[in-house]
Structures are given as structure tokens and as C-alpha cells.
Structure 1
Amino acid sequence: PTSMAFYLLSTLGGYVVTSVLLLKCPTLVHKKKKQRFTCRHISHRGGAGENLENTMAAFRHAVNLGTDMLELDCHMTKDGHVVVSHDDNLRRSTGINAKIADLRYSELPPYLCKLDVSFQRECCCEGGDDKRIPLLQEVFEAFPNTPVNIDIKENNDALIRKVSELIKQYKREDLTVWGNAHKKIVDKCYREFSKEIATVSSFKKTIFFLSFFFYSQTAPYKQEKKILFVVKLPNTWLKKLEDPQKLTRSQKFITWLADVLLMRKSLFDHLTARGIQVYVWVLNDEEDFKRAFDLGATGVMTDYPTKLKEFLAKYVP
């Protein structure tokens, strides 16, 4: 029994030591993934706090500021056009209770003059003259050299296929990231264009990697096909709720615990060393920007591109 216990402890100790070594030096077992682009400044929906979300005016504003990447959302119209819009139903954004999939592109109504900023409580954005829902190809044509993160909002094979065709048509394989928070959509995107386009890991898989693989000491051995993780800071989300006080003590504790356990600089540094980018979304306050970059995040996604640009100008990592 004593020799068996010694053997087990020795084996476990050796495994832990090896895991820690590989966590610090992952390229000993993993070839570093080639990064086609590295983005620190990412404009969520083009910058939904400074212009109406997902409009060409928002995208132009962000690009003129020098954003590294535009984030946008896609749906497909009844007549097969890929449009840039977050919601499948247009009630919130246009006041018209209709689904994009049930309308032709020519029938799409304009955006309302004022839209809430989804990730900034009690804030809204008043737009200018541009209230038109644009086509994805317009974005590609207007910003041929700007990386774009495309959120495929529907589990729709035709939509995924059409987006991939547009990416090929405009030769944007090296300038595109696509996916969704849901695994089924991510898997379809990866199968459609597995090697050519960077695919975002699903939210569920990201959390699983950040928790199980890290704390089981297996993260250094885990092969990862995706080259980009998108994560959120759990404590930050408390500030986004309409009434954070309605959370129970147990819910607050779970959120705090998730933040403590998952937001680990050692893990962020490990992923970076392997060439896996980590983007944090959606952050709109300077204190959150700082925390994300201090943790080792590759980039931050924000509704306020001007605010993030000003922060980065004075931030010294």
C-alpha cells in the first residue's frame, strides 16, 4: 500500500509539474498558430454607442478612428440577400413587427432615430441621416482591408453558405472571423470553411476550456482547432442588468465565483503563446478596458470606439 501510494503521488506530481511547464511554454508540444491579424480595438456593431448600430455610418466612423476590426451581425432576407442586422425581428430596431426572413430586401424599413445601447444600462444612441439596413457586400466593398467579425445569427445553412460565397468573392479569407455563441452554428461554419476562415469558439466551448481543461491541468495538452476565443467578464455583466439588485445572493455569489475562477492571466497568457487570440466583449468603461488588457486579452470589443481609442493611447501594458 505504501509503495502504491508513493507511485501514485509521484505520477501525479510529475503530471502536475509537466502541466505547469507546458502551461508556461506551450510551444514545446503545440506549434504556434499563425495569426493573420491581431486586433486590440474592435467596434461592436460598428460602435453602437456612437452611431446607430450596424449602419454604414457606424462602420465608417469606426474605420476612420482606426479600429482594428468591425463586428457585425447577419441575417438573410426572403429574396436571398445577406443583410447586416442584429435581430431577426425588426420590432426593436425599426418599430415594425416583422422578421427579416419574411421580407424582401427592398421592403426592409429604416432604423428608428434612437436605439438603446444593449450593453450600457440606461443609454441610447441618437443616429444621424443613415438609418438604412446595409448589405454585407457593401461593408466588404467599402472596407476591403479591414478585418470583420461576422456573427451568424441564425442556424441557417443557406445563410452560412451565402456568407462564405461572399467572403470568397471579395477575397476576404484572411480578413474574416465568423461564428456564433452557439456550438451548432460554429460547427457548421467550421465545416463550410474550416481552414480558410478563422472561426470563433462557441460560448459553451470557451467556458469549458477556461474551466475544466485549465483546472484539470489538461489545457496544455488540449488540441484546439479554433484560433479565437470570445469571452466576457462575469462581474461586468452585473452592471449591465436593468436591476442588479434583483439578483439573489446565490446568483451574485456564482457570478463572483465564475469571475474569480475563469478570469486568469496565466490562462490568457497560455492561449496567447499558442497563437489563440482572446477577445473580451462587450466592454464600455475604462476600468473594464484596463482589467481586460491587464488579464492579457488580445483585444476588447466596445460600443464606444472613441473611448477605447483614447484609453489605448494612454494605456501601457
Structure 2
Amino acid sequence: MTDLSHVRTGFAYLDEPREAGGVLALAHRGGARHPDLHGLENTLTAFRHAAGLGYRYLETDVHATADGHLVAFHDDRLDRVTDRVGPVLGLPLSEVLGAVVGARAGLDERIPRLTDLLEDLPEVRFNIDLKAPTAVEPLADLVRRTGLHDRVCVASFTERTLRRFRRLLDRPVATATGPASVAVQVYAPFPLRVGRLLRDGGAVLQVPHRFRGRTVVDRRFVELAHASGRHVHVWTVDVRAEMEHLLDLGVDGLVTDRTDVCKEVLVERGVWYSGAAT
């Protein structure tokens, strides 16, 4: 595999694994498709399980409750994975915490607050997907108050959300590029690609390998990102052969539900990184 450890973004969150010769392995929602974690996505049990495997980068999502608390939860409603219904935004923290995750499978897990994860797993870093505009200010405030600047990378599917989050910080935090920049890299002529990246404050392109039948991540995509000083993380990669192919292209990170398979591949290649968060 090509040595790309010289591609520096200026953010310890992204640079430290590459400088150590490793690849960022991000446990998606704690490793939602690991055989031992069926029905336990985004729970403290799932995140502890991934950390126990040696993962030092965990991916999660955040919503803000009606009373302004951040919870690690993907959907905007409770319906799919809990025994309750209703929008997270419309409920106070007490009701959200009362919802049982995995109840249909006889499980009894609760939705964690983001602060619960940060305190329970001080050795890991988090990739946080801002799922709603109401979560922007609480997350920026949490980063400022608790000094999480080197411990988180923040992403969103909304450009405005990312720009607002960056403006609220007292010093820079690693963030993903916005979706418009990603689209330009795939569809636009070369000069427009470069110009768009120069205007985007993101340090990493977090993208699917393929989207709607079109290949997003190929060698040219990775080379362009690296030429601009950015890293490439690919989601959500659960098949060994696909992991191998992407690593051959030189990607910097893999986001996976199959934490067992991904660790096995990276260990075999000698690029497994399990350094502690700072």
C-alpha cells in the first residue's frame, strides 16, 4: 500500500494514526452489524464492545432533545429501534432516556447521552454526525467547555450546519467537507473541483464508496483529496474484499459496522491503529 503518512491535515485527530503508519478504523454506531451486537446500535454496550476490540475511533450521531441535551441516536424519531414513538426533538431528555433500545429482541438498553460516552470511554475519539440544526450550539458549547477539540471530528449532510458549527468554536476542530464539495469532486470538471475544495473548511472527505450506481472513491478521487491536504474516509464498508480494494487505493479511514472483519483486515496488513486519545 502507498505510504501516505506525509499527508497532513493539521489536526491531531486525523494525522496521528497516519503518522504511526495506521489507518483510522471507525466503529459505525459502535459496530452495528457485529454478530454480538444485533439490535444494539448507538448504545453504551456497543461502544464499549468496540473499544474492547481495540477501536480508538467510534462513529455516532447526535440529536438534541426538547430541553437541549445531546443524545447519541441516529434517527429523528424513536420508532425504529426503541419501544416508544415520537420525534427526539419534541421530547425532553427524561422521556428519551426512558425508551428501551432493542426491546423487540428482549434487550434492555437505553439511549446514551453524548456526555455519557465521552466520560465512560476517555481513551477513544468520536466522529460525530450532526443530525439536526438544534444540536449545533449544544455540541459547540460542549467542545469549548470540555476541551474536546482534538478528540472529535464533526460531520453533517447539511452545509449550513457545518458552517454554523465552525463559526461557534473558539479554536478549530476537525470537520468533514460539506456534501456540495463531495458532489463537485465526483461530477464537476477538474478546475471546479479544486476551486470548491479551496473554499471548503473541511479536513476530510467522508464519502460512500459508491452512490446510486456511480463509483465515488477511485484512485483519482483519493489523489485529489490528498493533493489538497485532505484525508478520505469511506462509509459504510462491511465486506472484506471492498476493504482490501479501498486500502489499495490509499484511503485514510474505513467506517464499518463489521468491526470484527475490519480489525482482522487491518491487522493482517499491519495498519491497525490502537493509540489512545489525547
| Structure-1 residue corresponding to 2:266 | 312
Distance change >3 Å, CA 188–CA 222, structure 1 → 2: closer
**Pick from 77, 96, 100: which aligns with 1:89?**
77
- Aligned residues between the structures: 251
Aligned to 2:276: none
2:149 matched residue in structure 1: 173
Equivalent position amino acid for 2:57 in 1: M
Residue 133 (str. 1) matches residue 111 (str. 2): yes
| From 227, 251, 254, the counterpart of 1:297 | 251
Q: After the TM superposition, which of the residue ranges 189-198 and 297-306 deviates more from structure 2?
A: 189-198
Once residues 258 and 193 of structure 2 are traced to their aligned partners in structure 1, the CA distance between those partners, rounded to angstroms, is: 37
Q: Is the 8 A contact 1:179 1:189 kept in 2?
A: no
Q: Which residues of structure 2 form unaligned runs of 5+?
A: 1-5, 15-22, 272-278
Superposition pairs for residues 99-110 of structure 1, below 5 Å?
A: 99-108=87-96, 109-110=99-100
- CA deviations on 1:155-212 (whole Å, 9 max, x unpaired) are 22xx211111112222110111112112122222222228421111122321213432
- Equivalent AA in structure 1 for residue 115 of structure 2: Q
Residue identity in the other structure for 1:133: I
Give 4+ residue runs of structure 1 displaced > 4 Å after superposition. 126-129
More strand by share: 2
Taking a change above 3 Å as real, the CA distance of residues 233 and 173 of structure 1, as seen in their structure-2 partners, is same
Does structure 2 retain, via aligned residues, the 8 Å contact 1:174–1:196? no
Residues 294, 167 of structure 1: alpha-carbon distance in 2 compared, 3 angstrom cutoff: same
- On the 8 A contact 1:227/1:275 being kept in 2, the answer is yes
- Asked if residue 155 in structure 1 is aligned to residue 144 in structure 2, the reply is no
Distance between the aligned counterparts of 1:218 and 1:301, measured in 2? 24
Tell me which of 226, 233, 236 is aligned to 1:279: 233
What is the Cα deviation at residue 128 of structure 1? 5.3
Q: Which structure dedicates a bigger proportion of its chain to helix?
A: 1
Residue type matched to 2:119 in 1?
Answer: E
CA distance in 1, matches of 2:196, 2:238: 35
Normalised by the size of structure 2, how large is the TM-score?
A: 0.81
Aligned counterparts of 1:219 and 1:81: Cα–Cα separation in 2: 38
Report how far residue 218 of structure 1 moved.
5.7
**Greater CA deviation, 185-194 or 56-65?**
185-194
Q: Which amino acid aligns with 2:122?
A: P
Residue aligning to 2:67: 79
Q: 1:272 to 1:145 in 2, by over 3 A?
A: farther
Task: Give the aligned CA root-mean-square deviation in angstroms.
Answer: 2.6
Give the Cα–Cα distance (whole angstroms) in 2 for the partners of residues 225 and 128 of structure 1.
41
**2:102 aligned residue (76, 96, 112):** 112
Q: Matches of 1:202 and 1:163 in 2, distance apart?
A: 18
| CA–CA separation in structure 2 for the residues paired with 1:207 and 1:263 | 12
Q: What are structure 1's unaligned runs of at least 5 residues?
A: 1-26, 115-125, 238-253
Q: 2:205 aligns with which of 229, 238, 242?
A: 229
Letter in 2 for 1:313: V
Tell which structure's C-alpha radius of gyration is larger: 1
Q: Give how far 1:274 is off.
A: 4.2
Amino acid at match of 1:264: D
TM-aligned CA distance change 1:93 to 1:216, over 3 Å: same
Instruction: Report the counterpart of residue 145 of structure 1 in structure 2.
Output: 123
Task: Answer whether contact 1:199 1:227 (CA < 8 A) is retained.
Answer: yes
Rounded to whole Å, the distance in 2 between the matches of 1:276 and 1:62 is 26
Per the normalisation by structure 1, the TM-score is 0.72
Matched residue, 2:194? 219
Q: Deviations over 1:134-160 (max 9, x none)?
A: 10111111122321111110122xx21
For 2:236 and 2:106, locate their aligned partners in 1 and report how far apart those are by CA, in whole Å. Answer: 20
